[in-house]
Chains A and B, each alone.
Chain A
Amino acid sequence: MPTADSRLGAVLDVDMRTRLGGTTIPSPVLTASGCAAAGRELDPFLDLTALGAVVTKSVQLRARSGRPTPRMAETPSGMLNSIGLQGPGIVGFLNEDLPWLAARGVRAMVSIAGGAVEEYAELASRLRGACGMVALEVNISCPNVESRGEVFACDPAAAHAVLAAVRTADPGVPVYAKLSPDVTDIASVATACVDGGADGISAINTLLGLVIDTDTLRPVLSAVTGGLSGPAIRPVALRCVWQIHRALPETPILGMGGITNGAEALQFVVAGASAVSVGTAVFGNPSAPERISRELAELLARNGFARFSDAIGFAHRSAGPTDGHGPGT
């Protein structure tokens, strides 16, 4: 067991840089879309510039009110939400949210959502070249839409069409497709997205869930169903990351789903994630991403990794003599 001092030294030695598509970022820990608004509210609690990026709440073309309340139900080790993508619309986002982040040197991974392929394309062109944006996350998997038939991520052909349209609208920006676990074969959806032009995959979005109030004998949420998040979904998320990395070993994965500490983040990394997002944990602890980042670095050092990037997908490699990519002894 290393002493506290030697461990600190080791932490400082771990190169935590990773890549988000073609962009190098100093930390593999990001926020998760919908769990950090547009960053500003978290500013009192952590250094936003130290994060890999702030992943902003999905923006659509028009301002959206979101759904009526109740919008949230706490569940065992998780929560169900049906916010309905409340937000300012792309104009408000470009005028206020993104400039605030850019002015402070905070990297923004901008999440976009739409009801039609053309809407995604228009959002991508409106955002093209926007100051502060380091990547796009294309949310094709929000469960809180009018009809499940509109969840593009449930249909490889529809997912392909959205990603191809976004790629055409902005050929340069790193593009990640955010996928739903509520599918039979997530690897085939991921493959369709990459074929369409996605640089990477964000996995996973929430799972569709339901809670009923036993006093009223009616669903708790006004929208009836909502998206389940938090540690309750972590094994599902990890399995998805594993399967996607197996199918697409060269494709970067932004892994997320119930991460609350460094050890859990490390599970995603060795399963194939080249970066992780911290979502629901922020609701319970606004400074969580900072702590998770520190714990992850500490664990990598303890496991003999000199570089974060050496740990990506490590669990897939066969055990045996060291191949020079850690962990050392």
Chain B
Amino acid sequence: MSRTWGFTQAVDLAEAHDQMTAMMPIPLPPVPTTQRAGPVQVRATIMKVRTAGAYREFTVHAPGVVPGAQPGQFVTLGVGGESSALLLRRAFALSGVDGDAVSVVVAAHGAGTRWVFERGPGDVLDLVGPLGRPFPAPSPGAAALLVAGGYGAAPFVGLAQRLTAAGHPVAAVLGASTAERLYAAQELAPLTQVLVVTTEDGSAGRTGRVTDVLPDLLPGASVVYACGPMPMLRAVAAQAAARGLRCHVSVEEAMACGIGVCMTCVLPVVGADGTSRFLRSCVDGPVFDAASVRFDDIGRLPDDVQGASAMLTTR
């Protein structure tokens, strides 16, 4: 690895803390309350492919998707081509929008994502979006801490742009197993007062995990946004909760359809009424208030989830 991450080195956490807490609150412009445009299905032509460490960012011409698209939302892509044995769409967080173009970050995990990974400029993708609920705006002037694991940083460039434009102090922690699995460190540098990078193998930034540096950064934050693997979200949510901080998490659950019809991507979430329900991460999320997510019960059927008792009845 010969990549340099100059700006990520030697961030002084004490100084970072001071910087964040010293920020003057600036009022946030009114949050747009207009109804979001619904999702569309388009044939999207790949305009540009950019390699970013282990990932590739695809910028595609996708007319109709951009109006209403907000950071935290995602799109789905059909994979494998017309005669493919892969039937299900793959979901990707929006990493940017510009005119009629949208960008997504792709990690080649399996056959479907590898197929996307290998597409090039001029290739056409079947794209549906924007989907899901975006990150909510924080209260006026709130200092925001963004915490990402790997390509979980994808939605944070757009979010950081919005937050800084609205006068919010922004800090970010990017973590990954190794340097090449970090994402958006360069893009986030000019958008953040503080940027801390962690890698588990020490190949960039501080050796360790994002949660190791949170105790130093959370005191300066008023709101936390997190996107990454579920165990990371759970750990970040716990630390935020311990300090009484609002935390928004963007979850990555396995989806089959991405539009709310298949009921695959559910997780137990406590509603405002105190009732827990299996909510679909595609349409009710992927962004949830961390305090409402029952992380310990993901993959289980707690007795108090609405409708759980009906699962026990036999004739």
User: Interface residues, chain A, CB within 8 Å of chain B?
Assistant: 35-37, 41-42, 44-45, 57, 60, 62-72, 74, 76-79, 81, 83-84, 86-87, 89, 115-116, 119, 146-147, 150, 222, 230-231, 280-287
**Chain A residues, Cβ within 8 Å of B88:** 74, 79, 283-284
Binary A-proximity of B263-301 (CB < 8 A = 1, otherwise 0): 111110000000001100001000000000000001111
Interface residues on B, range: 35 or more
B307 touches A146 (CB 8 A): no
Can you identify 13 A-B contacts, CB atoms within 8 angstroms? Answer: A36-B261, A44-B38, A63-B306, A63-B310, A65-B307, A66-B278, A69-B254, A70-B254, A72-B254, A72-B262, A74-B256, A78-B87, A283-B87
Given A64-B310, A147-B314: A283 and B261 interface contact (C-beta under 8 Å): yes
Most buried by A among B128, B262, B306: B262
A64 contacts B307, CB within 8 Å? yes
B87 touches A287 (CB 8 A): no
B308 close to chain A: CB less than 8 A: yes
User: Max chain B CB contacts within 10 Å: which of A42, A76, A78, A86?
Assistant: A86
Contact, CB under 8 Å: A81 / B264: yes
Query: In the bound complex, how far is the Cα of B298 from the Cα of A222, in angstroms?
Result: 11
Q: Evaluate contact between B261 and A35: CB separation under 8 angstroms.
A: yes
Residues of B near A35 (CB, < 8 A) are 261-262
Kindly list the 5 A-B residue pairs having the minimum CB-CB distance in the complex, ordered from nearest: A65-B307, A116-B315, A41-B260, A63-B307, A283-B257
In the complex, the chain B residue whose C-beta lies closest to that of A36 is: B261
Selected contact of B256 from candidates A146, A231, A283, CB within 8 Å:
A283
Q: How far is the CA of A35 from the CA of B259 in the complex (A)?
A: 11
- When distances are taken between beta carbons in the complex, the residues of chain B under 8 Å from A89 are 307, 310
The residue in A60, A79, A222 that gathers the most chain B C-beta atoms within 10 A of its C-beta is A79
* Given contacts A77-B87, A282-B257, A283-B256, A83 and B313 within 8 Å (CB-CB): no
In the complex, residue of chain A having the shortest beta-carbon distance to the beta carbon of B87: A284
CB distance from A161 to the nearest CB of B (A): 12
Please report B residues at the A interface, Cβ cutoff 8 Å.
38-41, 78, 85-89, 126, 128, 253-254, 256-257, 259-267, 277-278, 283, 298-301, 305-311, 313-315
B314 & A146 in contact (Cβ 8 Å cutoff): yes
Q: How far is the CA of A81 from the CA of B267 in the complex (A)?
A: 16
Contact yes or no, A45 B278, CB < 8 A: no
Cβ-defined contact, B41 with A287, below 8 A: yes
A115 to B315, CA, bound (A): 5
> Which residues from B are CB-within-8-Å of A285?
41, 78, 126
If the complex has contacts A79-B256, A222-B299, are A84 and B266 also in contact, measured as CB distance less than 8 A?
no
User: Are the C-beta atoms of A65 and B314 separated by less than 8 Å?
Assistant: no
Q: How far is the CA of A36 from the CA of B315 in the complex (A)?
A: 28
Distance A79 CA – B85 CA, assembled complex (angstroms): 10
Chain A hits for B309, CB < 8 A: 62
Pick the contact of A66: B87, B254, B257, B263 (CB < 8 A).
B263
Contact indicator A41/B261 (Cβ below 8 Å):
yes
CA distance A115 to B278 in the complex (A): 22
Interface-centre pick from A41, A280, A281 (highest chain B CB count, 10 A): A41
The closest CB in chain B to the CB of A65 belongs to: B307
Nearest Cβ in chain A — how far from B113, in angstroms? 12
Q: How far is the CA of A74 from the CA of B39 in the complex (A)?
A: 24
List 6 additional A-B contacts (Cβ < 8 Å) besides A65-B278, A69-B264, A287-B41: A37-B261, A62-B307, A83-B263, A86-B263, A231-B85, A282-B257
Q: Across the two chains, which residue of chain B brings its CB closest to A63?
A: B307
Count chain A CB atoms within 10 A of each CB in B40, B278, B299 and give the residue with the most. Answer: B278
A283 to B89, CA, bound (A): 7
Chain A residues whose C-beta falls within 8 Å of the C-beta of B313 in the assembled complex: 62, 115
Chain B residues, CB < 8 A from A41: 259-261, 283
- Tell me the minimal C-beta distance from B171 to chain A in angstroms: 33
A76 to chain B, nearest CB (A): 5
The residue in B263, B283, B298, B313 that gathers the most chain A C-beta atoms within 10 A of its C-beta is: B263
Task: Report the bound CA distance from A64 to B256 in whole Å.
Answer: 20
> Which of A35, A72, A89 neighbours the largest number of chain B CB atoms within 10 Å of its CB?
A72
A87 to B267, CA, bound (A): 14
